[in-house]
Structure 1
Amino acid sequence: MSKKTKNRPRPAAAGTDGPNPRQPCPCGSGKRYKACHGAGDDVIVLRPFEGLAAECDLVALREFVPSGLAPLTLSAEAKKLAGSRTARLATVLPGASAALIRPNGDALVGLQVQTRSGDISADLGRALRWVLTAEPGEVLPVAGASVGDGPVRLQDLLVADAALDVTLHADFAWWLPDEGEPSAEAAAALEHANNVIMPTEVVRADGVRGAYWVDAGSKAHLRWVRPEPEDQLVAALARLQVNDELDLGTGSRYVGSFRAHGLLVPVWDLDQEMHVKEWSAPAEAFAKRLTETLASLEEQPPTERERRARDSLAGRQVTLR
């Protein structure tokens, strides 16, 4: 006789509503969804920074920018907690800490950290609340700690329409205090971090936000976090491709995109011999073309050729290395 088997729930198939249990968890932990947030009732916020003008830069700083700092514009509610204290966002802090207060009172919140819940904005908001009231010299190891009652999401603690003034660094020398020699442990951590850093610069131009030039060693890339809904953006990119306007000019090639925190990030290969500043004008011109193309889709639906191009672009996903 054949053995009876218990009925077991099958994983959701790709394309159904909700994350695929076998795919990486959207929280960014690196675990499969079924072994992470899929194992409980925690709700994952797929677009945690939505509503903030700095959304695209926040995604970039959390996902692929190696060494950077940005001062925060605190909301009225956050200022009540902070008093005269200010705070800055950092891509990575020593020991991957969630937040710390330097002896001189400098308050830093780390973006590239392990979070506790499915809402990255809430975890980072709790770290920000902590850092606004902690004592100099204290360190918050893991995001998720909170101070008292009140708002905890970044959307509640920051001015929504304030952009981020991002300053990128070639290394992590800013980890070290200004006074005294670093300990052997701190020096070793700094050396290790500097050895794996990829040179990165902000592409600055009118109408351009969330665009970063990255030297990945064998190639240079432009990674551009876009705020538009994915279906609209891909349709516009398809129209540009059909019109041979998808590149950024000579020395560039569109290679695909990846998703990060609810946004699509198009990627171009770039000529490594060209300086980052030489891509400002092409990026500005592309931003204008893209804006015009997005507007044209409202009056002129995609053609059959553009729909085929859209399907092709939707399948061109790139992997960060």
Structure 2
Amino acid sequence: MAKKTRNRAAAASAPGENPRRPCPCGSGKRYKVCHGAGDDVIVIRPFDGLAAEADLVAMREFLPSATAPFPLRDKGERPVTVTSVLPGASAALVRADGSIMIGMQVQTRSGDLSADVARAVRWAQQAEAGESLPVVGPGLGGDPVRLQDLLDPGATLDLTMHQDFGWWVPEQDGELAPELTAMLERANSVIMPTEPVVADGVRAAYWVDTGSKAHIRWVRPEPEDRLLAAMARLQAGDGLALSDDARYLGSFRAHGLLVPVWDLDRDLHPKEWTAPVAAFAARLDEALAGLDDTPPTDAERRARDALAGKQVTLR
């Protein structure tokens, strides 16, 4: 009962309230025929309370090929690496040397992504070398555990971005099986070039080349209402664009956080956006700090309504 109570408190609302409302998972179905059909309550902000929250959201939603040491409180004897995606979108695997790989982009999920990833970690810590966990979700047993129980709450992720998925296969594995070779080729063929924007005051911002356009995608840690109010203040003062070549496109909502997106001049090198992003970060910090001192103007209220209309929610 303790687990259910905790999860319900973290969800948007109790299942008994308005079962005809849209399901908060973003499926487009009514709550009563989606996650409201059982005890799998949606946790809207599953990584809340972790300094690595924005990193985890980025790895889950749009980083194509990234790895990072997992900052577990109990390091254990076997190193644990969190990844954007594993072969077959598996939840976890244990390599021949005993090292553990955890995948964020998986085939199935429950209503609590934090619990899913934590269960995968616990499973892998008990698994034998060479084993893999294809799926994770409500059916995976074990004691109730969430990432907040396992990770150092103050640690961010030391992310490494890769240009391909060659890290899937350790060098000592030698010649690959035809199936894995084909899987690697398919994965490498659809990878979107992605680079972090490295600057003071900037974290979890990424330049992404989608093939036809380039974007900045920036996972923000602030509560949505506060972030929108600050961005509306910048919009009213013509300060929301990164530069003349980078207009604000909109934002998507992922796991309780907003991810603003800017449309860029694709001909410019990714590093040319470092200074504009850093300058915007300073403007945004100033706007956030001033929210408690001055009420919004009519222009800012209109700007906030317009910004709210440019949001989509990811499942």
Q: 1:247 to 1:116 in 2, by over 3 A?
A: closer
Which letter does structure 2 place at the counterpart of 1:194?
A: N
| Residue 244 in structure 1 maps to residue 238 in structure 2 | yes
Are residues 1:138 and 2:131 paired? yes
Q: Decide whether the 8 Å contact of 1:130 with 1:146 is kept in 2.
A: no
2:60 to 45, 53, 62: 62
Counterpart position of 1:271: 265
Deviation at 1:308, TM superposition (A): 0.5
* Conserved? CA contact 1:129–1:146, under 8 Å: no
What corresponds to 2:89 in structure 1?
96
Q: How many Å apart are 1:288 and its aligned residue?
A: 1.1
Secondary structure at 2:155 match in 1: coil
Report if the CA contact (8 A) 1:115-1:123 is conserved: no
Q: Report the Cα offset of residue 116 of structure 1.
A: 4.1
Asked if structure 1 preserves the Cα contact closer than 8 Å seen for 2:254 and 2:313, the reply is no
Closer, same or farther in 2 for the Cα pair 1:228/1:304, shift >3 Å? same
The SS at the match of 2:186 is helix
Q: For the structure 1 residues 158 and 188, does the alpha-carbon distance in structure 2 shift closer, same or farther, using more than 3 Å as the test?
A: same
DSSP 3-state at the match of 1:234 = helix
- The answer for the alignment partner of 1:37 in structure 2 is 35
Is 2:213 aligned against 1:215?
no
* Other-structure match for 2:193: 199
Q: Highest CA radius of gyration, 1 or 2?
A: 1
Report the TM-score, using the length of structure 2 for normalisation. Answer: 0.88
In the alignment, structure 1 residue 160 sits paired with structure 2 residue 153:
yes
Conserved in 1, the CA contact under 8 Å of 2:252 and 2:259? yes
Whole-angstrom CA distance in 1 between matches of 2:30 and 2:205: 29
Which has the higher mean CA deviation after the structures are superposed, 223-232 or 174-183? 174-183
Name structure 2 gaps, 5 residues minimum: 1-16
Q: CA deviation at 1:18?
A: 7.1
Amino acid at match of 1:282: P
- How far did 1:143 drift? 1.7
CA RMSD of aligned residues (A): 2.1
- TM-score normalised by the chain length of structure 1: 0.86
Q: Secondary structure at the match of 1:291?
A: helix
* Structure 1 unaligned regions, length at least 5: 1-16
In the TM superposition, 1:101-112 aligns within 5 A as 101-112=94-105
31-40 vs 240-249, greater mean Cα deviation: 31-40
Residues 48, 261 of structure 1: 8 Å contact kept: yes
Once the two structures are superposed, residues 229-274 of structure 1 have per-residue CA deviations (whole angstroms, 9 ceiling, x without a partner) of 1111111111101111111123211011110000111000111121
Contact 2:82 2:104 (C-alpha < 8 Å) held by counterparts: yes
1:51 aligned residue: 49
Shift of 1:317: 2.5
Q: Distance in 1 between matches of 2:188 and 2:34?
A: 31
8 Å CA contact retained: 2:247, 2:263:
yes
CA contact (8 A) 1:130 1:147 kept: no
Change over 3 Å in CA distance of 1:282–1:165 after alignment to 2: same
For the 8 Å contact 1:129–1:147, the answer to whether it is kept is no
3-state secondary structure, aligned to 2:272? helix
Q: Distance in 2 between matches of 1:253 and 1:260?
A: 21
